[in-house]
Amino acid sequence: MKSLRLSKTKLRRIAKEILELCPDYMGYPHLSKSVFIQPRLSVSYTEDKYCGEFDNENLIVRIFPRRIKSRLDLVRTIIHEYTHYAQLYDSPRMDRKYIKANEELGYKNNPFEIEARENELKYMRLVYSRVKHMF
């Protein structure tokens, strides 16, 4: 599988910028901008099963570059995981609700995942237009 070819430093810089742009388009979840806590970014080359994940215990958006095939994939992945971050604040005990929805409905029909995929499509071109010069 072909992956996005960027140096680790460049990838991290672009990914961080994308993550910092997410609240501009998707809002500051349940909190005001003045008390907003930005999730941290982690880039991991050890896992290659997913493009990304959100670690809700440590408030980390983690990306797995070996699975990311294009510039838009990178943008979509970070938007997707930022959506899960926002869901954490909008829904108490999101982790339990997420697991229950996965068990009952499956990943594809999980409402948390549906919202994340919808946000990818809604915001990816807007966010990409702001970072494309960085590639």
105 Cβ neighbours under 8 A, 6+ residues apart:
111
- Kindly give the pairing relationship between strand 60-63 and strand 52-55: antiparallel
Q: What is the pTM of this model?
A: 0.92
Output the pLDDT for position 49.
83
Output the pLDDT for position 46.
85
Check: CB of residue 42 under 8 Å from CB of residue 63. Answer: yes
Question: Which amino acid does the sequence have at 85?
Answer: Y
The pLDDT tens digits along the chain (135 residues) read 566 889 999 999 999 999 999 999 998 876 655 667 889 999 999 877 889 999 988 999 999 999 999 999 999 999 999 999 999 876 767 888 999 999 999 999 999 999 999 999 999 999 999 999 999
Percent helix, strand and coil across the chain, each to the nearest 5: 60, 10, 30
Can you tell me the distance from the alpha carbon of 41 to that of 63, in angstroms, rounded to the nearest whole number? 8
Can you tell me the distance from the alpha carbon of 89 to that of 28, in angstroms, rounded to the nearest whole number? 10
